[in-house]
Structure 1
C-alpha cells in the first residue's frame, strides 16, 4: 500500500470540527470516504463520524488527531482485502536488543550437559547383515512400488500407444546397474554394453534399450495432480516429494548421536534449472543446494532441498518463532531432535544468531557455532583489527544472560581472528596446539580455547558425508532436475547404509573389513541378481557360514562366491553336472563332487549323508 493511501486513511479518521462546519451538504466537488461496516457498528461515543469530507488541501500534522494503531491496522486490512489483495501477515524475526555483555568465562558442570539419550541401535537394526538388507531398510519395497506405479502412469501420459510395465524387480536391477556404473566409469552409458570394454554383469542384467526406457520414464509423482505455480499449495519439489519424505522418515528412525552438525551440501549439475545455486566455497560451484543434519560419523538424519519456499509463514508450525531465514534452517532440521535430552548442535556463522541460541537452549538443546560479529552488537570483545595486532593464541571471552540463558562469546586469534558463540562451553581450560610459524619456519605451541577444540572435533559431519559420496558418485547425465536429485539421494542412502553397517558391526563386536567400494559392489551385484525380496530373520543373524566364506575368499585358490542375498534368494539355483570332480566349496566340507550351482557357479556336493547344496543356499 502506498504512502498516499495510508495518509488518506489517516485524514479520513481525523476529527476536525472546523472542517465539518465548513463543509456544506450540497457540496459535491469534495471526495467522500465511507468507513467500513465494522467501524460503523460501534457506539457513537467510540467512533468517529460515518463520513468525513477531505478538503483539497491536505491538513498538517497539527491539524490531525492521530487514531490508535489497532484502528488503522484494521482499516488497512479491510481495504486491502476489498481490493483483492492479501494482507501482509509476515512476522518480523525475533531480535534481542540492549543485551548486557560483560567480561567473564562460561562455566557449566559436566552433569548439567551430560547426554540423557541413547545411541544404541534397536534389535530390528541389529538383525540386518548384508549390504542389500541395509539398503532395503531405507529404500523400502513400498517406495519401489510407488516409483513403479508413477513411472507406468507417466508412460501412459507421454506415449499412450506404447506404455511400459515396470516391476519392482526390474527397478531394483536398474538401480543395481546405476550403482555399478558409479564404481566403474566408462565414457557413456552405452559403453557398458559394448563387446570390447563393456561389463558382462550389466549385459546379463538387462538390455541397453530396457535400461534407457526405464530411465526415460522414471517418475515419482503424478504430474496431472500438481498445483500450478502461483496458486496456493504449489510446491517446487512436488515431482520428487514421495522419495524425499520416504527416505527422510527412514533416516530419522535411526537413534540420533549426541553431537550433530548442520551444514549445506551441493548436488553438482550443469543443467538449467530455477533451483540451481552458486556456492563459491564448494569444490563444484554450481548445483542444487541442500541442508543436512548429520552426525559426527557422517550419517545424514535429515535432508532439506533449498527451493526458496521453506521460510514462508504458512509452512511454519504453530508456536514456532521466526528467527530469520538462516536460523530457521536449523530450527526446521532439528524438529526431529528430542527436547531436554541435551543434544549438541554445531553450525557455522551462516546460521548462528543470538535468538537461535536462546530458543534451542529453552528446548534443552545446546548449540555451538562460529559468529559474524555484526549480528550481535555490543560484544565486550576487541575489534578484529585490534585482535590482529596481538600475538598468535590470544583469546578473549564475554558472557551475557538472555532470557535466563547463559551465552558465551569467544574471540581467538589463529591465522585469522575467529569468533564463536556457545551455550555450554567457554574458553577455559585452554590447551596447547601445534602451529607452523612462517616467520621462524618452525612448529610452535600456542594456546587454544576449549570452545575451538570442541567445535573442530564435532563440526565436520556433513563435510565427511560429502567426501565419502565424492569417491563413488552416480554421474549419469540428465536434463531433468528431479532425476539428478534422485541419483543424489541414492548416493546418500548407500553411504548411510554403509555407515549403519559399520555401526552395527561395532555394537555387536564384529570386525568389519568391508570398504565402501566392496559394499557398493556387493550391493550392486545383489540388486542385479537377486530374485526375491529379502525378509530379515528375527533375532541376531548367524555369521557362521558367511564368516567361513570370507575366510575362504582370502585364500588365493578360493572361488568367487556370490553375495549372501543372491545365495539365499531361492531363484534359479539349478544343480548341473560337470565333467570333472572338484572340491566342494561349502565350509568344513572336504569332499569332491561333479555337481555345481548354475547361478552361483560353485561346486557343492549332494550325498545320502549330507546336502551341502541345500545348506549353502539356506544358511
Structure 2
C-alpha cells in the first residue's frame, strides 16, 4: 500500500480531495486505470491552464534529482512505498498511459446559443415485409453454416481421429435447438429429453447424445492457433460469428438522422476472462459490447470490448474512441447521442470537424477551464432553473430537476425552453417544469 507524504516535511498526509486532485493533475490527464466495469473510461485529457506557456506539466515523482544535473520538476505531493514492501505507487503511475491533447484556451460566456436544424425524415418503411427466416438469413446464411460444419468436422477428426459427418442442415438444427432452449429454459440439458417434461420440437429434431457431441466439437475456425492478424484478439475463435452479425448489420438501410451510442452486456456466465460485472444493467454479467443504434433502437454496428483493441485506439481516450469508431457506420450530418462515460469537449470538436452533431451528458472534471464557468451551486438552484455557457461551437447547459444535470452539445443548447411533467412529492401531483431543449432531445433519442 502506498503512503502519501509531503515532499518537504516528509510527514504523512491523509488521503483527501485535494490530494487526489493533485495526483490527477486537477483531472487534466489520463493517469488512472479504473477497475470498475462501469467506469472504464479515461479522465479528460486537456491542457494545463495553470502552467506558463513554455512550461511543461509535472507529475508526482519520488526520484531525487541527479547531482550536477538539472532538478526534475515534481509536484508538492510525493508518492512512496510504506514498510509493507508493496510495489511502488510511483512506478505504477509512471507506467500508465498519459495522453495530452493540446487545445487552445476556452472562454465560456453566458450567452444564447443558436440551435442547428435537424430536419430529418422518418426511417423509410420497407416495401415488402419478409418472413422471419429471411431476416435471420441476412445474418446467418447457408455459407456460414456450411463453414461451421466443415470446421466442426475438422476439429473432431483432429481430436478423436473419427469422422463426425455433420452437415450444414444439422448445424441449423443445432442452432435452432439452442434458440428454443433459450426460450424454454431448463436447469439441465438432459431434462429436454426426459419423459413427461420433454419438448417434442427438440426431441424429434435431434437425439440428446448427438446434440452433446456436436456441442463439444462445435467450431467456426479451421485451426487451433490464432492467425497472425488476430494474435492479440482473444475472441478469434468466435470472430466468424461476430463478423456474420456485423455483415448483417451493414445491410440495414441508413439515412441521416438521430443515433445513440451506448454500452450493453452480452449475457454470459460461463468461464471467460473477458466476463465483466456492470451494475445497474438488466443482465449485469457478461461481455461488454459498445453499440450504435437508431433512435428506434435498431442496432446498426457494434464493437465488443476486450482491452487492447486496435479499433478502439485514439489519442482522445477510450470513450471518444468508441464513438469515433462506431459513427463510421452512420451517415454524415446525423446527430449522435451518448452518455457521460463517452462525452468530452475534444470529442464534440472532432465530431464537428467530421460533419456530425453530438449531444451528451458530461462530468464537470472533463470540462477545460471549468473554474471559469461560474455555475451556481446545486443547492442554490431550484427545480427548473437553467444555466448556459457557450464557447465557440460548444454549449454547456446545467439544469436542475430532482438533481442537477450537466449536458454538452455542438448542436442543441438551452435557449429554447419546453415544458415537461414532473411529480412533486410535497404537492403529491404532477407539475409543469421548464426544461431546456438539449435535455428533452437527449431523453427522447438516447435509447
Cα pair 2:116 2:412 within 8 Å, conserved = no
* CA displacement at 1:96 relative to structure 2: 2.6
* CA displacement at 1:289 relative to structure 2: 0.8
| Structure 1 residues 299 and 440: alpha-carbon distance in aligned structure 2, compared to 1, 3 A threshold | same
SS of the equivalent of 1:99 reads coil
Structure 1 residue 323 and structure 2 residue 332: aligned? no
| Structure 1 residues 128 and 149: alpha-carbon distance in aligned structure 2, compared to 1, 3 A threshold | farther
2:337 aligned residue (317, 341, 346) = 346
The separation in 1 between residues aligned to 2:227 and 2:137, in whole angstroms, is: 31
Question: Counterpart of 2:284?
Answer: 285
* CA displacement at 1:185 relative to structure 2: 2.7
* CA displacement at 1:278 relative to structure 2: 2.3
* CA displacement at 1:180 relative to structure 2: 1.8
Structure 1 residue 438 and structure 2 residue 393: aligned? no
The aligned runs of 1:42-441 (5 Å cut-off) are 59-61=68-70, 92-110=99-117, 113-115=118-120, 119-120=123-124, 126-127=127-128, 129-160=130-161, 162-226=162-226, 233-256=231-254, 258-310=257-309, 312=310, 315=311, 322-339=315-332, 342-379=333-370, 381-383=373-375, 386-401=377-392, 406-441=393-428
The separation in 1 between residues aligned to 2:131 and 2:402, in whole angstroms, is: 47
Cα pair 1:128 1:134 within 8 Å, conserved = no
Cα pair 1:381 1:396 within 8 Å, conserved = no
* CA displacement at 1:225 relative to structure 2: 3.7
The separation in 2 between residues aligned to 1:260 and 1:335, in whole angstroms, is: 12
Cα pair 2:254 2:331 within 8 Å, conserved = no
Question: Counterpart of 1:77?
Answer: none
Which sits farther off after the overlay, 362-371 or 143-152? 143-152
Cα distance per residue 1:595-617 (max 9 Å; x no partner): xxxxxxxxxxxxxxxxxxxxxxx
SS of the equivalent of 2:387 reads strand
Cα pair 1:259 1:458 within 8 Å, conserved = yes
Cα distance per residue 1:254-285 (max 9 Å; x no partner): 11251111111112333332201221222443
When normalised by structure 1's length, the TM-score is 0.54
The separation in 2 between residues aligned to 1:428 and 1:151, in whole angstroms, is: 61
The separation in 2 between residues aligned to 1:328 and 1:343, in whole angstroms, is: 18
Question: Counterpart of 1:43?
Answer: none
SS of the equivalent of 1:447 reads strand
* CA displacement at 1:411 relative to structure 2: 0.5
Question: What residue ranges of structure 2 are gaps of 5+ in the alignment?
Answer: 1-65, 72-94
Structure of higher CA gyration radius: 1
Question: Counterpart of 2:26?
Answer: none
* CA displacement at 1:394 relative to structure 2: 0.6
The separation in 1 between residues aligned to 2:423 and 2:433, in whole angstroms, is: 10
The separation in 1 between residues aligned to 2:390 and 2:242, in whole angstroms, is: 41
SS of the equivalent of 1:103 reads coil
When normalised by structure 2's length, the TM-score is 0.74
Question: Counterpart of 1:519?
Answer: none
The separation in 2 between residues aligned to 1:272 and 1:97, in whole angstroms, is: 48
Cα distance per residue 1:266-323 (max 9 Å; x no partner): 123333322012212224433211111111222111121110012x4xx57xxx9521
| Structure 1 residues 130 and 283: alpha-carbon distance in aligned structure 2, compared to 1, 3 A threshold | closer
The separation in 2 between residues aligned to 1:236 and 1:274, in whole angstroms, is: 9
SS of the equivalent of 2:197 reads coil
Cα pair 1:118 1:255 within 8 Å, conserved = no
Question: Counterpart of 1:15?
Answer: none
The separation in 2 between residues aligned to 1:194 and 1:289, in whole angstroms, is: 36
Question: What residue ranges of structure 1 are gaps of 5+ in the alignment?
Answer: 1-56, 63-87, 461-619
| Structure 1 residues 326 and 93: alpha-carbon distance in aligned structure 2, compared to 1, 3 A threshold | farther
1:449 aligned residue (426, 432, 436) = 436
| Structure 1 residues 210 and 438: alpha-carbon distance in aligned structure 2, compared to 1, 3 A threshold | same
Corresponding residue pairs, total:
356
The separation in 1 between residues aligned to 2:129 and 2:215, in whole angstroms, is: 30
Cα pair 2:230 2:236 within 8 Å, conserved = no
